[in-house]
Amino acid sequence: MARRKYYDDYYRTAIKTTGGMKVKSKKGDIGTKWWSKRFIAILNSYGWETRLQRGKRYARVGQVLRVNIDSNVVSADVQGSRKKPYRISIEFPRLGDSAWEKIVKQIISTKGLVAGMLAGEVPSELENAFKQGGASLFPQSGDEINMNCTCPDYAIPCKHIAAVFYILADRLDDDPFLLFELNGKRKEELISAISKNNDGNIPENKENNNDKSVAVEELNNFWKPPDLHIPVENVRKNTLSPLKKYPLPMEFNDPEIQYMLELYYNRINENLKKIKEDLV
């Protein structure tokens, strides 16, 4: 990370924006969930506390114009004191396939962890699941995060990058699956990996059986639809998802709910087709 030269307009007031992204917190800490607070605490532990504080106001008044998350890479536009917004890029360490395979097995073998995540929570056991999988949920040092900003500020992270960190912390409150994406695994990929591993008769952890492991049968019941006693002749060749035919009420119109229901409907449809094929 190259350092930048000090510049004359360092203390100039940032150009006011309209329609920028703002965190929910008006004062004090940003991030209310334990995992959001831990995200910021980890960044502060790198010796960045003073630098991060400079970005809080930017995150509150809407100076962050855009944030895009593509796996473990974050790009953003932040309006500073110059007319053209600064371009930000933040790259978090990406875990490899072998590490994810171990982590997924640990997640499945930890009772209540999957259900908690699907409920929008992050049980504290998740950090241990990563550790047992030989990885870390959060970067272990600042050197593992590659950061760049087009501003001429000499400090890394500058206040523009810091503002983006706070926007991420605020988003983590509402979408804990972002923790996985910042490690290189999208939500859909994670759910698919858990589902596939669950189909493979993952054994119970008999060495740690005091409410810390989950029976295979329990996981199967969670991820697979119940047995349906439907006459084969009533199964249509091209089953239309109920979500298409009967849209959810507005209060349930949540992408996560829709995704999970679609997953179950697809499983049901596949199982019904197999039943029909076996009986033909």
Question: Is the domain of 51 the same as that of 89?
Answer: yes
Question: Is the domain of 109 the same as that of 238?
Answer: no
Looking at residue 125, its pLDDT comes to 86
Any residues with CB less than 8 A from the CB of 123 and at least 6 apart, and which?
A: 110, 112, 113, 116, 117
Looking at the structure of the chain, the number of domains it has is: 3
Question: Is the domain of 149 the same as that of 239?
Answer: no
Looking at residue 119, its pLDDT comes to 74
Question: Is the domain of 101 the same as that of 238?
Answer: no
* CA–CA distance, 135 with 119 (Å, rounded to integer): 24
Q: Give the pLDDT band (50/70/90) at residue 14.
A: confident
Residue with tokens 């360092």: 10
Looking at residue 255, its pLDDT comes to 56
* CA–CA distance, 135 with 6 (Å, rounded to integer): 38
Question: Is the domain of 74 the same as that of 167?
Answer: yes
| Full residue range of the structural domain in which residue 69 is found | 1-95+136-179
Question: Is the domain of 107 the same as that of 14?
Answer: no
Question: Is the domain of 28 the same as that of 159?
Answer: yes
Q: Which two tokens stand for residue 51?
A: 């630098």
pLDDT 10s digits, 19-52: 888 898 888 889 889 999 999 999 999 999 998 9
* CA–CA distance, 62 with 26 (Å, rounded to integer): 12
Question: Is the domain of 128 the same as that of 74?
Answer: no
Q: Is the pLDDT of residue 190 over 50?
A: yes
Question: Is the domain of 50 the same as that of 21?
Answer: yes
Q: Give the pLDDT band (50/70/90) at residue 163.
A: very high
Span 224-245, mean pLDDT? 45
* CA–CA distance, 43 with 114 (Å, rounded to integer): 27
Dihedral (CA of 181, 186, 188, 192) sign: negative
Question: Is the domain of 234 the same as that of 151?
Answer: no
Question: Is the CB of residue 21 less than 8 Å from the CB of residue 65?
Answer: yes
Question: Is the domain of 48 the same as that of 172?
Answer: yes
Question: Is the domain of 38 the same as that of 119?
Answer: no
- Candidate ranges 1-5, 102-106, 221-225, 275-279; pick with highest mean pLDDT: 102-106
* CA–CA distance, 189 with 97 (Å, rounded to integer): 12
pLDDT 10s digits, 88-143: 999 999 999 999 999 998 888 887 787 777 777 788 889 888 998 889 999 999 99
Q: Give the pLDDT band (50/70/90) at residue 266.
A: low
Q: Is the pLDDT of residue 275 over 60?
A: yes
Q: Which of 109, 118, 266 lies closest to 190, judged by CA?
A: 118
Question: Is the CB of residue 149 less than 8 Å from the CB of residue 161?
Answer: yes
Q: Which two tokens stand for residue 33?
A: 């969930």
Q: Which two tokens stand for residue 189?
A: 């990929």
Looking at residue 232, its pLDDT comes to 41
